[in-house]
Chain A
Amino acid sequence: MAQRQRINLKVNGVEYEGEVEPRKLLVDFLREDLELLGTHVGCEHGVCGACTILLNGKAVRSCLMLAVQADGAELTTIEGLAQGAQLHPIQEAFHEHHGLQCGFCTPGMLLTSHEFLQENPSPTREEAKKAISGVLCRCTGYKQVIDSVMAAAETMKNE
């Protein structure tokens, strides 16, 4: 077995220091080593987007990265969005507009929307539709996901 490598990173505001095998995928590291089970694996080849997290504020696919590549980074996963019992406005909007059914693509949808709304706080519907087009959802048919993103934009603007 290859030598384990030391890494140091911050996940949802918590510092983590540990050792990983260099070949370990970031998503496996999050799920197995950090027990952050909210990030899901849908394809392991970078297409479905379910494993999307924020790395230094940018949405990345954690199945396409190695854990060692995240050394020194700040990550946000679905567990890091709410503040205690207070849902993030994006989560609120998904709840209000039925932006999820089985919830398996939901981590990808939430974090992709998060990055998108940071960059484009007043999107058009067409822009929101495009923004989530990299995340596959087999349940919703996307309409209510787009409704959710638009509603989140509205609340976040007013905050």
Chain B
Amino acid sequence: MPDPEARRWVGKRYKRKEDLRLLIGEGKFVDDIQLPKMKHAAIIRSPYPHALIKNIDTTQAEKLPGVRGILTGQDVKEMSKPFPCGVPIPPKYYSCAVDKVRYVGEPVAVVVADSRYIAEDALDLIQVDYEPLPVVMDIEEAAEPDAPVLHDNIGSNIYSHRLMQYGEPAKAFEEADLLVKGKFLFPKYGSTPIETYAVVASYNPVNQEFVIYNNYQGPFVNHSLVALALGIPENKMRWIVPTDIGGGFGTKTGVFPYIALIALASKKTGMTVKWIEDRREHLLASATGTDRVTYMEAAVKRDGTILALKDKAMDNTGGYIRAPEPGCAYRSTGNHTGAYQIRHLDREVMVVGTNKCLTSPNRGYTCQELYFSVERLVDMVAAQLGMDPAEIRFKNFIQPDQFPYTTATGGIYDAGNYQKAFQKALDIVDYPKWRQEQEKARQQGRYIGIGIATIVDPSVTNIAYVTTALTPEQRAKGHPKSGSGESMTIKMDPLGQVHVIACTNPQGQGHETVISQIVADELGIDPDGITVSNVVDTHDRVYTITTGSYSSRFASVGTNALVNATRKLKDKLFKIAAHLLEVSPDELVLENQKFHVKDQPEKSIAVRHVAGTAHWHQTALPEGMDVGLFASSLITMPTSKPPDELDRVDSSNTYGFCCEVIVVEIDPETCEIKFHKWASMHDSGTVLNPMILEGQVMGSITHGLGGALYEEFAYDENGQCLTASFQDYLCPTSMEVPDIDIGHVETPSPFTALGSKGAGEASCESVPVAVANAIADALAPLGVVINELPLTPSKIWHLIKEAKAKQA
């Protein structure tokens, strides 16, 4: 690792390069793409949560002037195949409903017309006859044998089901002094990026090639899956994602079925077709996080040691299941025991379908679900033992000298000092003082609560984890998967300037800026002069199956690839310079953009002359060396291996730490929550750019806060979605976000070139449960049980009322 002292730019508050186009309205988003002869699509969607499609009559719509063609489910069935999905029996999930609809908002047909206005007029002229079917909306009911079945080919609503054991849970449960259990309900919410889904597709019937602009979060595995669904060779489908995506958060991975749908609309109509999802469509039918029911039980010693966990978690992926699901249930395998030394686990995992909107990863990808039960339960254990919730965490933490630490489930935690970070958060809040305040307040009939969550934030998904959805026997018969690779290319032009070609496809994370900082340090140059192009183009970019921005990959594997590529380029520069100066490369020093021989500053050559030679005077290069100056690196993380026969897997390849300590006060009359104090402490290894990091953490906290207090995709018992506008689906505004003290501890990761790792998802995972713990702590004197979210004032009011009735 380079000496951190030598870093001039990494770790600095360097301003973003991306701003200089976005601030003047010159960003490039998919909706900004105008192509010749481009037409516009609108989608007719199901008003029913579950119904047979008896007939679709498009005759009137086709006659409307300006309509260029209509694609129905029947066409989609004839022109494509269902998307593959990593469960034993995948449902027949096409990009459009065929014969049957399974959630409100499911696409039923696509109109292509000269303008979006005309396409929407045409939707009103399409007649669809439905025969409604019974619905199933509740997760547990969906798994019952007598529930209405969504997919006949599966025969039940259970998409995935596994039992897994780690260590010796039965023995641990026998040895326990105390068993504590709870049932936890995690709601369906999502990050609802301000830019909705967007696709522009053209099909060339002569060379049978699709060119598709879209705002998907990478090529990732879905480029292959869409090609398989379209039944075409993968290289006949070129995806281009422009420089800017208006927020992703995992939600944008759900755009892939629309990539297929609009591609088919283009193929059928012979037009270039643009489709921009509207907000109602997004809230009804794009993708949400997973709602989950968890039963969790802890086996505990009297001193607070948690020996084992037993849990049953049921996830709901809605009307279908699609990639990367069933990841929801398996993605956090390696970090299932969070920040604690818990060696025994008994897990039952189930993924079911209901008549709700489909899911995708959502910032934190089911770690918020996991920690909602783990961290609530830890508080419940503390309460039963009469222990302080901070103390029980210190008792069970992994110790600083245990890293790299292999968890019971196979996660390899790279680095951390949980005690130090947590203590720092407690100090910032002045924890002992607030415990005293709480005491005083309780005597006055006021409700102050302190909420804690201490969690491990996984970054860089190892695609291998998805295969834990299969039993070890099933896996042995299938194709193994593993890896988390990323790609970076760097080049130096004939005049000595540096350009980096990336394909990390960010959605606001500032990669162009951080790439420039890192390269500047590695090459000893000014970051202002470095240019970066970061778009996805599956034809023009070199990428890996895992390429993209999701699971906080950039700071870990992205920086590894970048540093590796830059060092290759630097090595080549040294070799050329040495050759020209007739010395050996290790006799050279690179300083102020010049190579000179150690202790002989006069014997030197400027970097730009070395670059010029590589391009302009190719015969002057060392024999056998490639001409020009560029280097690529495509690398994976060393721990990205397939699961073993005991289902242990390093499901992510770096693991940060995050904790929240939150002091709230609840007004028992209005049930309004006031935040007195909030410390959010993070350890994501080396900080690359503190300004960008602060933005990532604040954004992540705000998503967590939304999930804790406001956001939920609500449905009535008939399956109608009640939150199809931003008036009903409530995202936090600036007024809802309190002042927060954010702090960092830097324990460099030994697995990354700079010691950095993912940071932008941690608080999404910790905040929902920390807020819930704070509210539970505040209302503890009333005996209120908090086991669900979002904790809206009306929900809290009802809980208080019920608890008071019980007490009376």
Residues on A lying within 8 angstroms of B by beta carbon are 1, 21, 23-24, 28, 31, 35-45, 47-48, 50, 77-79, 81-82, 87, 91, 94-96, 98, 100-107, 110, 129-130, 132-134, 136-146
Interface string of B691-714 (1 = CB under 8 A from A): 110110111111100000000000
Q: In the complex, are the beta carbons of B725 and A43 less than 8 A apart?
A: yes
Please report the C-alpha to C-alpha distance between residue A59 and residue B65 in the assembled complex, in whole angstroms.
Answer: 37
Q: In the complex, are the beta carbons of B23 and A48 less than 8 A apart?
A: no
Residues of B within 8 A of A47 (CB): 725-727
Q: In the complex, are the beta carbons of B735 and A101 less than 8 A apart?
A: no
Residue from B19, B248, B280, B508 with most neighbouring chain A CB atoms (10 Å): B19
- B191 located at the interface, meaning its Cβ lies under 8 Å from any Cβ of chain A in the complex: yes
Specify which of A41, A136, A140 is in contact with B695 (CB 8 Å cutoff): A140
Q: In the complex, are the beta carbons of B244 and A103 less than 8 A apart?
A: yes
Query: Closest approach, in angstroms, between the C-beta of A61 and any C-beta of chain B?
Result: 12
- B249 located at the interface, meaning its Cβ lies under 8 Å from any Cβ of chain A in the complex: yes
Name the segment of B24-32, B99-107, B265-273, B331-339 touching the other chain.
B24-32
Given contacts A38-B26, A47-B726, A103-B22, contact A146 B194 (CB under 8 A): no
Q: Tell me whether chain B's interface is mostly helix, strand or loop, or mixed.
A: loop
Q: In the complex, are the beta carbons of B246 and A110 less than 8 A apart?
A: no
20 A-B pairs in the complex with CB atoms less than 8 angstroms apart:
A40-B194, A41-B31, A41-B276, A42-B196, A42-B246, A45-B725, A45-B727, A50-B194, A100-B19, A100-B23, A101-B508, A102-B247, A102-B507, A129-B734, A132-B734, A136-B194, A139-B247, A139-B695, A141-B698, A141-B702
Query: Closest approach, in angstroms, between the C-beta of A74 and any C-beta of chain B?
Result: 18
Q: In the complex, are the beta carbons of B24 and A103 less than 8 A apart?
A: no
Nearest neighbor of B121 in chain A, beta-carbon distance: A1
Residues of B within 8 A of A95 (CB): 15-16, 19-20, 23
Residues of B within 8 A of A133 (CB): 733-735
Q: Tell me whether chain A's interface is mostly helix, strand or loop, or mixed.
A: loop
Q: In the complex, are the beta carbons of B194 and A42 less than 8 A apart?
A: yes
Please report the C-alpha to C-alpha distance between residue A1 and residue B248 in the assembled complex, in whole angstroms.
Answer: 37
Please report the C-alpha to C-alpha distance between residue A106 and residue B699 in the assembled complex, in whole angstroms.
Answer: 15
Residues of A within 8 A of B117 (CB): 21, 23-24
Given contacts A129-B735, A139-B508, contact A101 B194 (CB under 8 A): no
Specify which of B32, B278, B737 is in contact with A37 (CB 8 Å cutoff): B32
Q: Interface size bucket, B side?
A: 35 or more
Residues of B within 8 A of A38 (CB): 24-27
Query: Closest approach, in angstroms, between the C-beta of B200 and any C-beta of chain A?
Result: 14
Specify which of B29, B192, B280 is in contact with A40 (CB 8 Å cutoff): B29
- B96 located at the interface, meaning its Cβ lies under 8 Å from any Cβ of chain A in the complex: no
Q: In the complex, are the beta carbons of A139 and B699 less than 8 A apart?
A: yes
Residues of A within 8 A of B695 (CB): 98, 101, 139-141, 144
Residues of A within 8 A of B29 (CB): 37, 40, 104
Nearest neighbor of B763 in chain A, beta-carbon distance: A141
Q: In the complex, are the beta carbons of B23 and A110 less than 8 A apart?
A: yes
Residues of B within 8 A of A144 (CB): 691, 694-695, 698
- B142 located at the interface, meaning its Cβ lies under 8 Å from any Cβ of chain A in the complex: no
Given contacts A79-B25, A130-B735, A138-B249, contact A102 B508 (CB under 8 A): yes
Please report the C-alpha to C-alpha distance between residue A138 and residue B23 in the assembled complex, in whole angstroms.
Answer: 17
